[in-house]
Amino acid sequence: MNLEELLTYMNAGNPLVVGTEAFDCMHALSYEAQRLTMELNSASHTPEEVRDLMSRITGRDVPEDFRLFPPFYTDFGKNIRLGRGVFINSCCCFQDQGGITVGDGTLIGHRVTVATINHGLRPDERHIHNLAPVTIGRNVWIGAGAILLPGVTVGDDAVIAAGAVVSRDVPPASIVGGVPATVIRMIE
């Protein structure tokens, strides 16, 4: 299985099951992500070098106005899509096998985690990785330490408060916070 076949398989919402060809392919590609993130995180880089490394991590060109403050962590990397003018602050973790899309102008605070995998709940199903994408709209602001769980969509212009755990979709132009995150108010 090659990368394109794997991405098609994963983006269709198929599970990754330990011991299958798809899982083995994903697992092999994760070593490349580990190597590249280690390179990103182990030295000081110019903004151009950071963009180059993120392009190699994601397997696609990132926009010239993309900014990231390392360290940054991902366990796959190839299923991240970044819009124009995106800023990612330090210590963020992207678990992207299910797909992470970040819209134009989005600001992501320190230590934000974006997860796209759940394991089966029963012990005999925990080897099954259930995938669901996370889609972040345009001009979103995600506060420090927030966690976005598999399958959520964050609407354009929304704000996610620091420390929030987002377990369901966030309406456009809303401010959400808490555990689990709920709408605090709308942005006028």
Please identify every residue annotated as catalytic: 119
Give me 91's structure tokens. Answer: 């210590």
Q: How far apart are the first and last CA of the chain?
A: 48
DSSP states of the chain as a string? --HHHHHHHHHTTPPEETTSHHHHHHHHHHHHHHHHHHHHHSS---HHHHHHHHHHHHTSPPPTT-EE-S-EEESS-TTEEE-TT-EE-TTEEEE-TT-EEE-TT-EE-TT-EEE-EEE-SSGGGTTEEEE--EEE-TT-EE-TT-EE-TT-EE-TT-EE-TT-EE-S-B-TTEEEETTTTEEEEE--
